[in-house]
Amino acid sequence: MKKIIIAAGALALAGCSYVLPQSSQTLHYQCGTTPLTVSLDGKDSTASFLMDGEQLKLKQVLVMSGAKYSDGKYSFWSKGQNAYVERNDKVIISDCVLAN
């Protein structure tokens, strides 16, 4: 029984490393006709991108599904190949698809 609990714990931790990138990663999205480049920093758990003429650096927030980064005003949500951006809880960029 003890071995099962240890194995389950190891699998759970392995799953966490998949969700949280451990190093820097740059993702390129196409949001309709607008490109969006997002830099993820797994060490700091942040996402950075240019929006409304300013460089944003959003901290990762715990969510049940996907990934969310927010600074209280702006939020970047992603799940699988899709993403969107909110400002003051209103979607301002949607239909973002990860480009290859």
pLDDT of residue 22: 63
- Beta-carbon contacts of residue 94 (< 8 Å; ≥ 6 apart): 31, 32, 84, 85
Report domain extents, the chain: 22-98
Enter the pTM of the model: 0.74
Q: How confident is the model at residue 100 (pLDDT cuts 50, 70, 90)?
A: confident
- The token duo for 39 is 């830099």
Residue 8: the pLDDT is: 41
The answer to whether residue 6 scores a pLDDT higher than 50 is: no
The superfamily CATH assigns to domain 22-98 is C-type lysozyme inhibitor (2.40.128.200)
pLDDT of residue 16: 42
Tens digits of residue pLDDT in 34-93: 999 999 999 999 999 999 899 999 999 999 999 999 999 999 999 999 999 999 999 999
